[in-house]
Amino acid sequence: MYAQMIKSEATEDDPEKLAAFQARIDAGEKIEPKDWMPEGYRKTLIRQIGQHAHSEIVGQLPEGNWITRAPTLERKANLLAKVQDEAGHGLYLYCAAETLGVSRDDLTEQLLSGRMKYSSIFNYPTLTWADMGAVGWLVDGAAIMNQVPLQRTSYGPYARAMVRICKEESFHQRQGFHIMMAMVNGTPEQKRMAQDALNRFWYPALMMFGPSDKDSVHSAQSMKWRIKMNTNDELRQKFVDETAPQAAYLGLTIPDEALTLNEDTGHYDFTQPDWSEFHDVLADNGPCNVERMSARQKAWDDGAWVRDAMVAHAEKKRARKVAAE
Amino acid sequence: MSKEWPLWEVFIRGAHGMSHRHVGSLHAANAEHAIRNARDVYTRRNEGVSIWVVEAAHIAASNPSEKGPLYDPARDKVYRHPTFYDVPDDAGNM
pLDDT digits (tens, 9 = 90+) for B8-44: 999 999 988 889 999 999 999 999 999 999 999 999 9
Identity at B46, one-letter amino acid code: N
pLDDT tens readout for residues B73-89? 888 999 999 999 999 99
Task: Tell me the whole-structure pTM to 2 decimals.
Answer: 0.92
Q: In what order do the strands lie in the sheet with B21-27?
A: B21-27, B7-13, B50-55
The parent domain of residue B62 ranges over 7-88
Q: Is residue B1 one of the residues assigned to a domain?
A: no
From B40's Cα to the closest Cα of chain A, the distance in A is 8
List b or e across A242-252, with b for residues whose CB sees 16 or more CB atoms inside 10 angstroms: ebbebbeebeb
Residue segments in chain A with a per-residue pLDDT below the cut of 50: none
Q: Is residue B53 one of the residues assigned to a domain?
A: yes
CA A305/CA B53 separation, integer angstroms: 25
Q: Is residue B82 one of the residues assigned to a domain?
A: yes
Q: Looking at the complex, does the CB of residue B4 fall below 8 Å from at least one CB of chain A? A: yes
Residue B17: the pLDDT is 83
Query: What are the beta bridge partners of residue A221?
Result: none
**Mutation choice for B interface testing from A311, A313, A322 by most B CBs within 10 A:** A311
**Mutation choice for B interface testing from A100, A165, A310 by most B CBs within 10 A:** A310
Q: Is residue B93 one of the residues assigned to a domain?
A: no
DSSP designation for A213: -
* CATH code, domain carrying B45: 3.10.20.520
Q: Is residue B63 one of the residues assigned to a domain?
A: yes
Q: Residue A168: its chain B contacts at CB < 8 A?
A: 44-45
Identity at B47, one-letter amino acid code: E
Residue B1: the pLDDT is 47
Q: How would DSSP label each residue in A165-180? A: HHHHHHHHHHHHHHHH
3-class state of residue A30 by DSSP? coil
pLDDT tens readout for residues A218-263? 889 999 999 999 999 999 999 999 999 999 999 999 999 999 999 9
Q: Residue B1: its chain A contacts at CB < 8 A?
A: 308, 311-312
Would you say A273 and A205 are in contact if contact means Cβ atoms under 8 Å apart? no
pLDDT tens readout for residues A37-57? 999 999 999 999 999 999 999
Hey, are the CB atoms on A310 and B61 less than 8 Å from each other?
Answer: no
Number of domains within chain B: 1
From B93's Cα to the closest Cα of chain A, the distance in A is 39
pLDDT tier, B2 (very low <50, low <70, confident <90, very high otherwise): low
DSSP designation for A263: T
CA B52/CA B88 separation, integer angstroms: 47
Backbone angles phi and psi of A151, in degrees to 5? -65, -20
Model ipTM?
A: 0.87
Q: Looking at the complex, does the CB of residue B3 fall below 8 Å from at least one CB of chain A? A: yes
Q: Is residue B47 one of the residues assigned to a domain?
A: yes
Q: Looking at the complex, does the CB of residue B58 fall below 8 Å from at least one CB of chain A? A: no
> Does B94 score more than 90 pLDDT?
no
CA A124/CA A207 separation, integer angstroms: 12
Q: Is residue B45 one of the residues assigned to a domain?
A: yes
- In this structure, chain A runs to a length of 325
Q: Is residue B94 one of the residues assigned to a domain?
A: no
pLDDT tens readout for residues B53-70? 999 999 999 888 888 889
Q: Looking at the complex, does the CB of residue B70 fall below 8 Å from at least one CB of chain A? A: no
Residue B59: the pLDDT is 94
